[in-house]
Structure 1
Amino acid sequence: IMLRQQMAEFHGETPSTQSKISLALPRSHCPHCQQTIRVRDNIPLLSWLMLKGRCRDCQAKISKRYPLVELLTALAFLLASLVWPESGWGLAVMILSAWLIAASIIDLDNQWLPDVFTQGVLWTGLIAAWAQQSPLTLQDAVTGVLVGFITFYSLRWIAGIVLRKEALGMGDVLLFAALGGWVGPLSLPNVALIASCCGLIYAVITKRGSTTLPFGPCLSLGGIATLYLQALF
């Protein structure tokens, strides 16, 4: 729902159109024929396989992105439950994974990180620390957020002066700061290092060295990888 609202805003849809979007309405529907998707056709992964990747009504192809995202989310939830079984922190990491997957998809498509997702990452981490479900104290979590924001905002400001153009989006700054509330200030360099390596690999593979690089997915991978490294080592 939040993803649809943010995309509507991004594409300039009117408030009256957005106001029709809620937790209940509109129901999932085919983007081609607008037919409402039946309950039996809306089961994650299984329905796409049973329908052979096509709409039951108009036979239009259903993007492979849907089952891939569902599979990725399921694997993220499974991994969190295995590493942190019967733990409030494991549940928090599941929620974080959902935030980051949705944010990464939007950033890959539009090079834009909506505030609703960066704020979701921020407040979920701080609430987990406040509820004593996080390995961090609330003080450490808040410190991580502040250090992350100051570091990346300073980098953004300096790069803007040197390169005379925006080298780091504000959404990336906010996401890095929010991840600081999950990994703590001392592990933020690990997040930045892993994210930078992922960004370099992505740039080489896609040959986008001279164009804008969506850094949100790289930061997301860096944050998640750091959390699991902290847990395992």
Structure 2
Amino acid sequence: MLDLPLGIWNWWLAGLLGLLVGSFLNVVIHRLPLMLEQRWARECAELAGQEAPPAATLSLAQPRSRCPGCGALIRWQQNIPLLSYVLLRGRCASCRTSISWRYPLVEALTGILFAAVVAVHGNGMAGLAGCGLAAALLALACIDWDTTLLPDDITLPLVWAGLIAAALGWTATRLDAALWGAVAGYLSLWLVYWAFKLATGKEGMGYGDFKLFAALGAWFGWPALIPMILLASLSGAAVGLALKLGPGLREGGYVPFGPFLTLSGLWALLFGTDHFLQWIGL
């Protein structure tokens, strides 16, 4: 396993890198669902034999970020992770429109996660791979919470990344355990989905949840699936109950399951799954 010199790659430098990656994740969280909607609109028009909408110019790189209030370009010095938000006091430099607290929170969480992953897994490829996994899970959690979508653009590459990382020895998971973890992760939630639908006539979750759980199985192996689904279910039930008792439950009473699956993945990444089973007495 490749280890980089600590003077070049260590936990605090990983934290700084995480701040920068977190700034990019904010772009992914905001733009990727919009890009998918544009893609689906073109595909639907083509299938219906209608004139397709013009090709979208929106991408993760273009156009440059602007204030949603006044449309002013956000300059580089106004886009320094955390620091710009503090200096601008959470407002646009041009029109003083409030900037959502989500942006600095995602940046801070990514920095903390990167530092923690490297502190736990070391400064080699295991730590680097873990940082990539943490970034993907955080982006998926935010997108699913906002839109109830888990984009294939992230979940499917995450499955392959887990298998490749296991094959290269970048994780503690053997390749056979990673392969069967991906299979079992997908099939287990697929069976739950159909059992619930046949029993109630309703859909209890989306196909994106199957793919995300398959990705977690690929990264952590099939033995980790039971503690991860228990953690996701318990945390989801607790948050759902809290939202139901308060004013925060969205229309239809639906709470997406993806954020809690990502929480279980981050827990497994930083603390392992055996500790959770011991904590609940299993």
Tell me how far 1:108 sits from its aligned partner.
0.9
Matched, 1:224 2:266: yes
- Aligned match for 1:215, one of 235, 242, 257: 257
- Please say if residues 2 and 116 of structure 1, whose CA atoms lie closer than 8 Å, have aligned partners that are also in contact: no
Tell me if the contact between 2:116 and 2:270 (Cα under 8 Å) persists in the aligned partners.
no
Does residue 18 of the first structure (1) align with residue 56 of the second (2)? yes
One-letter amino acid matched to 2:263: L
1:21-170 matched pairs, under 5 angstroms: 21-23=59-61, 25-170=62-207
Q: Let me know the Cα RMSD of the aligned residues.
A: 2.2
Q: Are positions 1:5 and 2:5 aligned together? A: no
Of 186-195 and 129-138, deviating more is 129-138
Deviations 1:79-125 (A, max 9, x none): 10110121211111111111111111111111111111212321221
Could you tell me how far apart the structure 2 residues matched to 1:205 and 1:132 are? 41
User: Following the alignment from structure 2 to structure 1, what is the Cα–Cα distance between the partners of residues 233 and 57?
Assistant: 39
Question: Structure 1 CA distance, aligned partners of 2:274 and 2:209?
Answer: 27
Alpha-carbon distance, 1:20 to partner: 4.1
Contact 2:57–2:63 (Cα < 8 Å) also in 1: no
Query: 1:48 offset after TM fit, Å?
Result: 0.3
Letter in 1 for 2:155: T
* Secondary structure of 2:162 counterpart: helix
Query: Which residue identity is paired with 1:221?
Result: L
Shift of 1:136: 1.4
Ranked by relative contact order (alpha carbons within 8 Å, sequence separation 6 or more), the top structure is 2
TM-score by length of 1: 0.91
> Which whole-Å CA distance do the structure 1 matches of 2:56 and 2:174 have between them?
38
- For structure 2, the 5+ residue unaligned runs are 1-26, 43-52, 276-282
CA distance in 2 between counterparts of 1:231 and 1:206 reads 27
The residue type paired with residue 21 of structure 1 is S
Deviations, residues 122-145 of structure 1 (Å, cap 9, x unaligned):
122122112221111222211110
With structure 2 as the length reference, what TM-score do the two structures score? 0.76
> Relative to 1, partners in 2 of residues 1:178 and 1:205: Cα closer, same or farther, differing over 3 Å?
same
CA distance 1:49–1:232, change in 2 (3 Å): farther
Is contact 1:99–1:120 with CA below 8 Å preserved after alignment?
no
CA contact under 8 A between 2:92 and 2:99: conserved in structure 1? Answer: yes
> Closer, same or farther in 2 for the Cα pair 1:55/1:2, shift >3 Å?
closer
Aligned counterparts of 2:205 and 2:181: Cα–Cα separation in 1: 19
Aligned length: 232
* 1:53–1:167 CA distance, 2 compared to 1 (3 A): same
State the secondary structure of the residue aligned to 2:92: coil
- 8 A Cα contact 2:224 2:273, kept in partner: no
Counterpart check, 1:198 vs 2:240? no
8 Å Cα contact 1:80/1:90 also seen in 2: yes
- CA-CA distance at 1:220 after TM superposition: 0.4
- Report the identity percentage: 37
Counterpart amino acid of residue 18 in structure 1: A
Q: Pick which of 84-93 and 203-212 moved more.
A: 203-212
Counterparts in 2 of 1:45 and 1:214: CA distance versus 1, 3 Å: same
